[in-house]
Structure 1
Amino acid sequence: MKKISIICSSILLTTTLAISSLPAQANLPLQLNGQQMPSLAPMLENVTPAVVLISVKGTHVEKQNIPDAFKFFFGNPRQNQARERPFRGLGSGVIIDADKGYIVTNNHVIREADEIQVTLKDGRQLDAKKIGADESSDIALIQVETKNLVEINVSDSDKLRVGDFAVAIGSPFGLGQTVTSGIVSALGRSGLNNENYEDFIQTDAAINSGNSGGALVNLRGELIGINTAIIGPNGGNVGIGFAIPSNMVKNLVSQILEFGEVRRGVLGVSGYSVNGEIAKAMELDANQGGFVERVEPDSAAEEAGIEAGDVITQVNGKHVKSFSELRGKIGSIGAGKDVELTVVKANGKSKTYTVTLKKTQSANIEPASIHSMLEGAKLNNQSKGLGVIVGDVEEGSPAEVIGLRKGDIIAGVNKARIKNIAELRDYLSEIKGISLLKIIRGNTIFYIRIR
């Protein structure tokens, strides 16, 4: 389970809260000095059956890093470099479709799980199957088969404001369902993992292990986010927690249901967040947004007319504060979908573009189709055209046999530098016989021979 865990808020609603600020259903006939006291109990009675406990079992393969010079002494290197360890884990989930039994949770809750069991609030225990997942956004969809489920209504998270009340529901430490309350502390947060697509809701929270995948709801009991991460020493609570916005969840789940995976759309720009120094240097009127440093050739952005030096300030009419937030919003929208971008041009004028997002270059190119010795490796393009990064490598695959490891960067073929997967494929298709892949691993550069 990830070290960054989950969100549960811990600000108590007191009798000083104006009763008019709560929905009518949140009032109980309890009285103090002749006045009704506010309570979340009626709302929670309707919502909590839609939040479940998830327990998983599986086997984690641990690799042993044996230097090449010593592998001869350990017999079969493949047998001695991997060790299987059983594991168990706990998390939470949210029922989003009662008829079909669909439950949303975090990918890190069910990752590598061989068995997934769901416990409902009424005590029923059900086996679940994985429908699909997206590691880069930490969203997964599982399914159970039963009747009389309760689903949660999903809210429009784009309408959230800082200061809105939020209620977190989950199962910390496997103790059973727990409810805490707080407020929306910030919107559009990112930067926890620069490799991922992030656009988090931040909330003050009583954070505990086991809440991952649980629900963050508003006072109407509508889902506004899936709890996913915290900041705190040793997983402890310091009042900073994060949830994946419900609109992002809806986009990702719809792709998983349609394709069995997330087919992420790509804008085709690189850049950085606008700050005071950049605004001054470029004489920009905008002090927030995503500064476009480079537009990729033949990309969706280039075809729409976006140029280097532009500042993207809005996505579908919603302001973006940083390039990371821009990346997170775009990353949850599927390939082939239209997105409306508001841009501040170099002359200071604002212009709106309609952009049709393209597929990632790695989405429709299988490593084995590039070269047979790359089979078993997950390949992705580095940002800014800096080569191809190797993701997970399947044990015993041709890619592992030639020496590729997770995190390696394929920077060139023979003497040619490559920028992306498409160039890697093109160079290898033209070369007959032996090729040398230039690999960057940490601070080391070396070559791997393939034929």
Structure 2
Amino acid sequence: MSRWIAAALATIGFALAAAYCLASYATATPAPKAGSVVKVINGPGHGSGTHIGNGYILTAAHVIREADSVDILSDQGLTTKAEVLWVNKAYDVALIRDEAMQAAISPLACKPLAEGASVTLIGNPADVEFVKVQASIAGKSRPYARWRNVSVVSGPIVPGMSGGGMFDRAGNLRGIVVGVMLAPTGMFASSMVGIGYAVPSSAVCALMGRAVPA
């Protein structure tokens, strides 16, 4: 066999081996999924939501308003469409579904958190997307203002985070962020004071017909 034929065969063999290795690597290491928290876009406004499995996403009712469908943006830049399944304005909770959802899942834990428990809030404040902030449960859940049942949360909450998840240290969904406390600073002006409100997961579970542990 001539030298150039042997060299050609060796080159072909190397190329085939490299292609096989690349294919094996692609199979063994699939593209990472997006996180469970998404951006919910409804016309000119937006909020946040959390994927709890099988394409179902929990968010705030005031983010959905009267829409039949909304756009969903994942933290990897993928935009899809979600159908609005139900809205409960008294609790400010809505359930939507995105059948094309390819994202991580945050389990909905029904047991209430104790006062002082540390939580992580994830959402899309103002024009900054997918932000995580640390907070804590500052007070027992109660009826307040227009909400049937909310927990008082001590931590930075900004418009746009509405509908975002409140998570415990294990990554379980423990509530849905729905509002901020405003303090008067003048006759017509108000400012946020670092205290907000989240519908506790126990109330969300009851709305969804799930048993709430004692």
Smaller-chain TM-score bracket: 0.7 to 0.9
> Contact between 1:91 and 1:212, CA under 8 Å: does it hold in 2?
yes
Q: Identify if the C-alpha distance between structure 1 residues 95 and 147 changes in structure 2 by more than 3 Å, giving closer, same or farther.
A: closer
How far residue 216 of structure 1 moved from its aligned partner, in angstroms, is 0.5
For residue 131 of structure 1, give the secondary structure of its aligned residue in structure 2: strand
Partner of 1:73: none
Matching residue within 49, 52, 64 for 2:35: 49
Are residue 206 (structure 1) and residue 159 (structure 2) matched? no
Partner of 1:223: 173
Question: Which segment drifts farther, 235-244 or 208-217?
Answer: 235-244
Partner of 2:72: 118
Matching residue within 47, 57, 66 for 1:103: 57
The structure in which a higher percent of residues are helix is 1
> Contact between 1:205 and 1:237, CA under 8 Å: does it hold in 2?
no
Structure 2 unpaired stretches of 5+: 1-31, 184-188
What is the TM-score with the length of structure 1 in the denominator? 0.37
How far residue 146 of structure 1 moved from its aligned partner, in angstroms, is 1.3
Partner of 1:187: 140
Amino acid at match of 1:180: V
> Contact between 2:34 and 2:76, CA under 8 Å: does it hold in 1?
no
How far residue 145 of structure 1 moved from its aligned partner, in angstroms, is 1.7
> Contact between 1:207 and 1:236, CA under 8 Å: does it hold in 2?
no
Mapped partners of 2:200, 2:97: distance in 1:
21
Matching residue within 49, 64, 70 for 1:93: 49
Mapped partners of 1:111, 1:147: distance in 2:
22
The structure that has the greater radius of gyration is 1
> Contact between 2:69 and 2:84, CA under 8 Å: does it hold in 1?
no
Amino acid at match of 1:95: H
**1:138-177 Cα shifts (integer Å, max 9, x gaps):** 111111121532110222332x211111110000013211
The structure in which a higher percent of residues are strand is 2
Partner of 1:250: 205
Are residue 154 (structure 1) and residue 108 (structure 2) matched? yes
Mapped partners of 1:48, 1:172: distance in 2:
18
For residue 231 of structure 1, give the secondary structure of its aligned residue in structure 2: strand
**Count, aligned residues:** 177
Partner of 1:37: none
Structure 1 unpaired stretches of 5+: 1-45, 58-87, 256-315, 319-451
Partner of 2:148: 197
> Contact between 1:52 and 1:93, CA under 8 Å: does it hold in 2?
yes
Amino acid at match of 1:190: P
- 5 Å matches for 1:21-420? 49-57=35-43, 88-97=44-53, 99=54, 101-113=55-67, 115-146=69-100, 148-158=102-112, 160-193=113-146, 196-198=147-149, 200-233=150-183, 236-254=191-209
How far residue 204 of structure 1 moved from its aligned partner, in angstroms, is 0.8
For residue 173 of structure 1, give the secondary structure of its aligned residue in structure 2: coil
Output the aligned Cα RMSD. 2.4
> Contact between 2:60 and 2:93, CA under 8 Å: does it hold in 1?
yes
Mapped partners of 1:241, 1:147: distance in 2:
29
Relative contact order, CA 8 A, sep 6+: which one is greater?
2
Mapped partners of 1:217, 1:116: distance in 2:
24
Mapped partners of 1:154, 1:47: distance in 2:
19
Partner of 2:18: none
> Contact between 1:227 and 1:244, CA under 8 Å: does it hold in 2?
yes
